[in-house]
Amino acid sequence: MIIPGRITIPTILTAFLSVTAVWGQTGEKPLADKKTVIQSSEGWNPSVDVRTDAVLVYDLSLKDPGRFRRELQTWKEKGYHTCFMTNIAWGHYALDYFNGTWDGEEHWDEIQTDSDGNHYWNKKYYVPSLNYLLFKKQVLKKAIDAGVEAVFIEEPEFFATVGYSEGFKREWRAYYGTPWQAVDSSPEATFLSNKLKYHLYYRALDECFKFCKEYGKTLGKDIKCFVPTHTLINYAQWGIVSPEASLASLESVDGYIAQVWTGTSREPQYYNGVKKERTFENAFLEYGCMESMTAPTGGTVWFLTDPVEDRRRDWADYKKNYEATFTAQLLYPRNNHYETMPWPHRIYQRKYARSATDDTMENIPEFYSTQLQVMTNALNSIPLSDNKVSGSQGIGVLLSNSLMFQRATSWSEEPGDPALSGFYGMSLPLLKRGVPVQMMHIENVRYPESWKDIRILIMTYSNMKPLEEDAHGFIADWVKDGGALLYCGRDDDPFQDINEWWKRLGFSRPADHLFSLMGIPAAAPEGNYRFGKGLVRILRRNPKEFVLSPDSDGPVLNAVQDLWKNECAQGDLMFKNSLYLERGFYDIAGVMDESVSDKPLTIKGTLIDLYDPSLPVLKEKVIHPGEYAFLIDVNRVEDPSVPQVLATGGRVYDEKTSARSYSFLVKGPLDTKCAMRVLLPRRPRKISLTGSEGNPVTDFTWTWDRGSRTLFLKFPNSHDGVKADISL
C-alpha cells in the first residue's frame, strides 16, 4: 500500500475538549493547558528533569508533611505544576490504621482475604470501610494543606477471588441486608460479591473526592480530582473489580489517567486459536476503552505510556513494546493529554539487561534515552485533529463494568471465557484486518456523544450483564433510528439465571428484555429482525468461539460485512493490515501480523523518523508487519518560512526569531543527549551553544539537509538549559 506525500492538508489544531476545570485557585490557567505530566515519589533531581507541564508527587501516608512540602517545592522551583498522587486500595502505609495506632482499635479484619484466610498480597489490599476512609481523608487534608493543585487517587482495586474477611462480610450485610455468601459458592454469589466490591470503591472515591473539594473551598481553592486507573479490559483480564465507567456519573470526578502500558497491553489473548502477546492491538483497544469511558462526559483523560514496565525485562524488549503502545495512543486524535512516564527515576537511574541474549546490566542506552525524549517532547505539541484512522469507521463493541464480575471462579474462567476471549472475539477479527473498532460503555449510552458515528454495534451478554434496565431503552432507540445491532450469544452461561433485575421483571435472560423493547420474541432464533429504521441481527454463537479455534471468525466477519454493505450502504469493509493516521504534520502508523497480507506499508514524503534517535530525513518509510512509525512530514508544516524546532530531545523555551537569526533555550535530563531537527529558511551561517552560566558549549555536532531545509543538532542536555544561537 502506497501513501503518497502531500495527500491533503488535515484539519489540525482543533479546539481543546470542552473542559472547564482549572488548577488550584480560580482564575489560573485551564486544565487543558497541562498536556503532559509525570508521577514521582521523590523530589526533583536533574537526572529526571523531563520537563512536563506538571508532576504528580506520590506519597502514601504523608507521615512527614514537612518533607512532602519540601519535595513539592523542589518541583515548583523548576517550573512544574504540582499535584498529589496516592492510592486507595493497597500499600503498607496504612499500618497505623490496621494495628490500632490511629484510633486505638485493630482493623486487620478489613484486609482483602481469600478463601484460605490469607491476606491478599501480604496485607497490601484493603476493604475500604467508612472508618478507613476517615483515616484516608486525613492524608488528603495534609496534601491539600501542603499546597497541591489537584488530587489523583489511583487504582481502586478489589480482587475477584477475595471476599472472606470479617470486614467484607459486614459490608455485605449492610449493603444487601442478607447473610454473607462465599464468592465461590454459586454464580449468583460471585456476581453479588463483585458487585459489592465495585460499590465499595465507588463509594470510597466519592467520599474522598467530596472531602477534597469541600475542604479545598474552605481554603479558597478549587481542587480537581482524578482517578488513575487500569482499563476495564485489563482489570477483567487480571480478575480485578473496580468502578471504572460508573465514576463518570460522580460530580466529584474530573477525569482519569488511562494506565495503559507494556505491562497491561502485553497480556496474552487468543486469536485464530493462538494465545500470545499482541501489544499494539491490545493497547489500541485499551486506549479506546478509556476514551469511550471519558469523552462522552466531557472529562479529561491523560493517556499513559511507560518506556519500561513493572516487570524486569531488557532494554530491547522495553523499546519494542514502548513503540507499540506509544503508537497506539497517538491513533486517538481527539485526545492530547499524556502521562509521558511514571517513575522516571526507574527509567533513567535503574539498570536492566541489554537484551534477551545479553544479560549485561546497564543504565538506559543513549540511543533509547534520546529516542524516548524526542517522543515524549512531541507530546507537548501534538495537535488534536478531526482526521480519522484509516479504515472502515463506525463499528462499535459494547462493554459493561460487569465484565469484571464474571471472572476468576471455576465456572466463569476456565474453560468458560479463557483470556477474556468473549471480548476479543468481537474485536480482534476486525481489528486484525485493519478495521479500527470503537469501544462503547453501556454505562454511557445515555450520552448522545457515545453514539456519534456508530453505525454497527456488536454486543453480547455471554461474559457480562447489564446492571440497569434503562440502558436497553437507549439501545432500542438507536436501532429504531437506523442503527444496526449485532447480538452474539447463546445466552447459556450460568450468570443468565442469577436473581438480578431482569428476573424480577419476569425475563429469563437480560437479552430478552432488550429484545422485548423492539418487538423481538424471547430466546429469538438466529436471524434478522427489523425495528423501525434499523435492524437487529442475532448470531447464536458465543463470541469466544470466534478466536479460540483456527479460522473460526467467519460468522462474525460475514455478519458485519452484510450489515455494513446492506444496512449501512457502505459497500465492502476495507480490510488491510495497518492502521494509519495523519495528525497535523505527524504520520502515525502500525502494521499488524496475522492479518490479510504480509505486505509492508510505505509512506512517502519528506519524512523525519522520530523512532530513530538520529532523526534521519527519508523520502519514504517502509513499515513491515510488527513495526510502527511516528514521522513528521516536512511538506505539511503549516508555515515553512518560519524557523521552528520540529523534533527535539529536550523542551524548547524562549524562541526568538529575526530576519537573520533564530535562538532558543533547551532543557532536558542530565547525562542524556538532545537530538533536534530544526526547520530553517536557509543553511545556517553560524551555530553557537551556550550553557546556563554563559560558558560556550563545544561538545555538539550538526549537519544540514538541503532537501528538507532542516538542521540536525546534537549536544549534551542540561537541566539548567542550553541556549542555541543560529545565524542565518
For the chain, the structural domain boundaries read 35-378, 395-567, 578-636, 644-727
Is 295 in a helix, a strand, or coil?
helix
Q: Which amino acid is residue 624, in one-letter code?
A: H
Give the pairing type, strands 338-342 and 36-40: parallel
For residues 547 and 273, give the distance between their C-alpha atoms in angstroms, rounded to a whole number: 6
Q: CA torsion, points 455, 461, 467, 470, in degrees to nearest 10? A: 40
644-727 shares the fold of 395-567: no
The C-alpha cell at 128 is 475500604
- Residue 149 has what pLDDT? 92
Q: What is the DSSP letter of 383?
A: P
Beta-strand runs (E) in 35-108: 36-40, 54-58, 81-87
Q: Which H, E and C letters describe 474-539, residue by residue?
A: HHHHHHHCCCEEEEECCCCCHHHHCCCHHHHCCCCCHHHHHHHCCCCCCCCCCEEEEECCEEEEEE
Cα 94–Cα 97–Cα 102 angle in degrees, nearest 5: 125
Residue range 644-727 forms a domain whose CATH class is mainly beta
For residues 151 and 153, give the distance between their C-alpha atoms in angstroms, rounded to a whole number: 6
For residues 49 and 74, give the distance between their C-alpha atoms in angstroms, rounded to a whole number: 11
CA-based Rg of the chain, rounded to a whole angstrom? 26
What dotted CATH number matches 35-378?
3.20.20.80
- Residue 14 has what pLDDT? 32
Per-residue pLDDT of 524-547, as tens digits, reads: 999 999 999 999 999 999 999 999
Kindly list the distances between the CA atom of residue 286 and the CA atoms of 180, 282, 328, in Å, as whole numbers in the listed order.
34, 6, 9
> Under a CB-based contact definition with an 8 Å cutoff, are residues 466 and 507 in contact?
no
- Residue 408 has what pLDDT? 61
Per-residue pLDDT of 370-385, as tens digits, reads: 999 999 999 999 999 9
Cis peptide bond prior to 415, omega within 30° of 0? yes
- Residue 1 has what pLDDT? 38
Give pLDDT < 70 ranges for the chain. 1-33, 121-123, 408-415
The C-alpha cell at 657 is 526569531
Which residues are within 8 A (CB) of 703 and not within 5 positions of it... i.e. 6 or more apart?
A: 711, 712
> Under a CB-based contact definition with an 8 Å cutoff, are residues 379 and 327 in contact?
no
- Residue 10 has what pLDDT? 32
- Residue 24 has what pLDDT? 33
For residues 369 and 381, give the distance between their C-alpha atoms in angstroms, rounded to a whole number: 19
Residue 689: its H or E element? strand 686-690
- Residue 7 has what pLDDT? 32
For residues 674 and 656, give the distance between their C-alpha atoms in angstroms, rounded to a whole number: 20
- Residue 412 has what pLDDT? 52
Residue range 395-567 forms a domain whose CATH class is alpha beta
